[in-house]
């Protein structure tokens, strides 16, 4: 029973990912060789962290328009990043490991939604005091740090291994 719930949850999650990609046509998955894509996703983790630090610096200096622009850029990178991860990385993992085998990776990808929700909250700059903004930005940065560490430490290595197995002559 628990396995069927996980399968249903993963299927629902992938369907939601497909709808997100289709609704945001400009965030369609990029057509890159898989190993190149994973390297780019890791680089984007650094770019998003730097972007959030830029948001913090701008907010601390009360430059809310600059903070807003920096957050919009992080949001753009994050949306494209999600489209690529969910369309490519997660599909490879589920294809190789099955839903149960990719259970931890699915849970890591499910963090995308709360991160994006928190980004929306931080984007509401006009209604926040500088200290509120700093607190929300710190939460967002901590959540992003935890998430990117999980992707880089577990998800991407397993996805690359699955991809290489698939590419090897005679499958496994």
- Dihedral class, residue 33 (left if φ above 0, else alpha if ψ from -120 to 50, else beta): beta
The CATH number of the structural domain formed by 31-165 is: 1.20.120.520
Give me the pLDDT at residue 129, please.
67
Q: Do 51 and 73 touch, CB atoms closer than 8 A?
A: yes
**Mean pLDDT value across residues 46-70:** 86
Residues in the chain: 172
Question: Tell me: the pLDDT tens digits for 94-113?
Answer: 999 999 999 999 999 999 98
pTM of the full predicted structure?
0.74
With CA atoms as reference, report the closest residue to 51 among 159, 161, 171, 148. Answer: 148
**Contact in structure between 74 and 51 (CB atoms under 8 Å):** yes
Distance CA 31, CA 49 (A): 24
State phi, psi for 63 to the nearest 5 degrees.
-95, 75
More confident residue, 24 or 119: 119
Higher-scoring residue by pLDDT: 66, 1: 66
44-53, 84-93, 139-148: which range is least confident on average? Answer: 139-148
Residue 83 contacts residue 20 (beta carbons within 8 Å):
yes
Please report the sign of the dihedral spanned by the C-alpha atoms of residue 26, residue 29, residue 35, residue 41. positive
Query: What is the per-residue pLDDT for 6?
Result: 45
Q: Are the CB atoms for 18 and 90 separated by under 8 Å?
A: no
Split at pLDDT 50, 70, 90, the class of 119 is confident
Q: What is the pLDDT of residue 121?
A: 75
Residues 6+ apart with CB under 8 A from 17: 82, 83, 86, 87, 90
Please give the C-alpha separations between residue 3 and each of 8, 9, 100, 155, 169, in angstroms, as whole numbers. Answer: 9, 10, 7, 20, 31
| Mean pLDDT confidence for 109-136 | 77
Distance CA 58, CA 64 (A): 7
Q: How confident is the model at residue 137 (pLDDT cuts 50, 70, 90)?
A: confident
SS3 159: helix
């Amino acid at each position: 029973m628990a396995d069927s719930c996980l399968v249903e949850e993963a299927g629902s999650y992938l369907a939601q990912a497909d709808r997100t990609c289709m609704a945001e046509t400009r965030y369609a998955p990029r057509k890159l060789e898989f190993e190149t894509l994973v390297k780019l996703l890791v680089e984007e983790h650094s770019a998003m962290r730097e972007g959030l630090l830029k948001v913090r610096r701008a907010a601390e200096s009360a430059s809310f328009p600059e903070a807003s622009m920096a957050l919009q850029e992080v949001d753009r990178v994050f949306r494209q990043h999600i489209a690529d991860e969910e369309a490519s990385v997660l599909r490879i993992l589920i294809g190789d490991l099955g839903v149960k085998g990719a259970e931890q990776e699915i849970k890591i990808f499910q963090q995308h939604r709360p991160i994006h929700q928190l980004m929306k909250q931080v984007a509401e700059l006009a209604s926040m005091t500088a200290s509120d903004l700093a607190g929300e930005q710190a939460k967002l940065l901590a959540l992003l740090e935890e998430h990117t560490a999980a992707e880089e430490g577990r998800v991407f290595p397993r996805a690359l291994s699955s991809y290489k197995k698939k590419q090897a002559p005679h499958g496994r």
